[in-house]
Amino acid sequence: MSLWSNIKERRVDLSLLLVAALWGASYLSAKTLTEHAPVLTVLSLRFISTSVAMAIIWAIKRDRITRPEWLLGIGLGSSQALILFFETTGVSRTSATNAGLIISLAIIFTPILESIASKNWLPRSFFVATVVAVVGVALLVSDKGFAAPGIGDWLMLAAATFRAIHVTAMGHLTTGKTYSSVSITLLQSLTCGVVYSVFSINGIGEAIKTFDLGLWLDLLFLSLLCGAFAFLVTLWAIRKTSSSRASLLLGTEPVWAVIVGMTIGGEKLALFGFIGAALIIGSSYFGQKIETRHRLLKQEQQPS
């Protein structure tokens, strides 16, 4: 098989890995922005910009938004806004280690919820792979030290739970449907932008006056690549594969964050960190193979 053929065959997995890499790289930009503006203001500006980009794409495609797409887009946008609120608030009230480990539990929660929703349980070996991935995250972030459990940890647990529900819903409610990914992503971004703007209307004006070129470039990176592009690709990929597979591949995000931190941010990684990264990568590789075999077997068993 040629290199191009191999890439084409694995384009869904590679697309999800690209999204994970973009989200991993987003930490530096988000950290820089939140040093100059409140978190809710940054989130508001980010999703306003994402909505503008998606509105342009939607206008070019001229997709008619159906009633089910309105309901699904607003629903997904509301859950996305809630997840990011829990995440940002939780991170501010616990250690980075606790936050990184707890949010990674979505890797386990998602296949459980998808198995319940589809009434078809994935093989036990897939769940072993997800647990190994979470252990890898624990090792990857353990050099920063764990903090005593508190309200921040409960908020991160809520974020992990809602993220798993969000990803499962995206797959379960859109697979096999003719919904427009552009329309749903536009509505999702608009909902987030409206929700965050309500709580940060004063901060938006102040940020617009004070942001320099570098901060606007960081915001565009978060809005266009980590927002519009990533949301479109994620929805497309989940509809092509499964929520469980997507969650596992997106779970490599901490590895990409560390790579960017080491190459651009000048951070260092201890031995346990390298072992953790290897576990995450290895479990993702074997987990997606297990999911592929299970999905293909299921398709063969379905009556034609």
What value does the mean pLDDT of the chain take? Answer: 85
Q: What is the mean pLDDT of residues 240-253?
A: 85
So what's the pLDDT on residue 194?
Answer: 95
151-185: pLDDT as tens digits: 888 888 898 899 999 988 888 888 778 889 899 99
- Determine phi and psi for 131, rounding to 5 degrees: -65, -40
What φ, ψ does residue 119 adopt, rounded to 5°?
Answer: 55, 40
Structure tokens at 132: 């190994």
Closest CA to 279 of 141, 80, 157: 141
pTM above 0.95, yes or no: no
Residue 224 has pLDDT above 90, yes or no: yes
Give residue 243's pLDDT band: very low, low, confident or very high (50, 70, 90): confident
Packed helices 230-240 and 151-174: angle between N→C axes, nearest 10 degrees: 60
Q: What is the DSSP letter of 121?
A: P
How far is CA 141 from its chain centroid? 18
